[in-house]
Amino acid sequence: MTEKKWPETWQEVNPGCMVFRPGSASEYHTGSWRAKRPIWENEKCIKCGVCYIYCPEGCVTETADGFFEANLDYCKGCGICAHECWPAAIKMVNEED
């Protein structure tokens, strides 16, 4: 079923406001909320994936070489990953820096 992203008219609103585009919330980028962002120091990283599993946005992904990075389109800068990383391989830096 096709649907327009943003309905201009009532005729374009789906019956029952049903949404047929699973996962489409990703069109909205929460990265703009962020005051701080995580930086990985891969030398310290043990590739355990704790940062991946604890991210409420699911925006930490594993790279081809087994390290991790955050998709800054979605990272809200909560700091959980840095706080939970036991070898302290992640630190939070101010957005302006």
Partner 1 sequence: MNTAMMKNPKSIVENFDLYAPKLVSKEEFFVGGHRACQGCGESLAIRLMCKALGKDTVITNATGCMEVISSLYPTTAWNLPWIHVAFPNAAAVGSGVEAGLTALRRKGKIADRRIKSVAIGGDGGTMDIGFQALSGAMERGHDMLYVCFDNEAYMNTGIQRSSGTPFLASTTTAPAGKKIPGNQVWKKNLAEIMVSHNLPYVATATPSYPIDFMNKVKKARRVKGPSYIHCFVTCPTGWRSTSETCIKLGRLALETGIFPIYEVENGVYKLTVEIPEKRRPVEDYLKLQGRFRHLTPDQIKVIQARVDLEFKKLMNKVEHSVSWV
Partner 2 sequence: MGKRVGMEVAIASAEAAALCKFDVAAVYPITPQSHVAEHLSDIVNDGRVDASFITVESEHSALSAAIGAAGTGARVVTATSSQGLIYMSEVLPIASAMRLPIVMLIANRAISGPINIWNDHSDIMPMRDTGWISFFAENGQEVVDMTIQAFKVGEDRRVMLPVNMNMDGFQLTHMVEPIIMPDQEEVDRFLPPYVPYAALHPDNIVSMGTLGLPEIYAEAQKSKDVALVNSIKVVKEVWKEWEKQFGRKYETIQSYRTEDADVALVTMGSMGETAEIAVDELRKQGVKAGLLKIKLWRPFPFDDLKKAVQGIRVLAVTDRAISFGGPGGPVCSEIRSALYDEPKRPEIVNFIIGLGGRDVQVENFMDIVRRAAKGKLSEPYEIYGVRG
- Give the single-character DSSP code of 14: P
CB 52 within 8 A of CB 62: yes
- Taking the least distance from each CB to partner 2, the nearer of 13 and 35 is 13
Interface residues toward partner 2, by CB under 8 A? 1, 7, 9-13, 15-20, 22
Q: Does the footprint of partner 1 cover residue 43 (CB under 8 A)?
A: no
The torsion defined by the Cα of 93, 88, 69 and 25, in degrees rounded to 10, comes to -70
Q: Does the footprint of partner 1 cover residue 44 (CB under 8 A)?
A: no
Nearest CA-CA partner of 46 in 79, 84, 16, 73: 84
Q: How far is the CB of 26 from partner 2 (least distance, A)?
A: 14
**Among residue numbers 9 through 28, which ones bind partner 1 (CB under 8 A)?**
13-14, 17, 19, 21-28
Which partner in partner 2, partner 1, none is near 74 (CB below 5 to 8 A by kind)? partner 1
Which partner in partner 2, partner 1, none is near 82 (CB below 5 to 8 A by kind)? partner 1
54 to 33, 58, 68, 80: CA distances (angstroms): 19, 8, 13, 7
Q: Does the footprint of partner 1 cover residue 93 (CB under 8 A)?
A: no
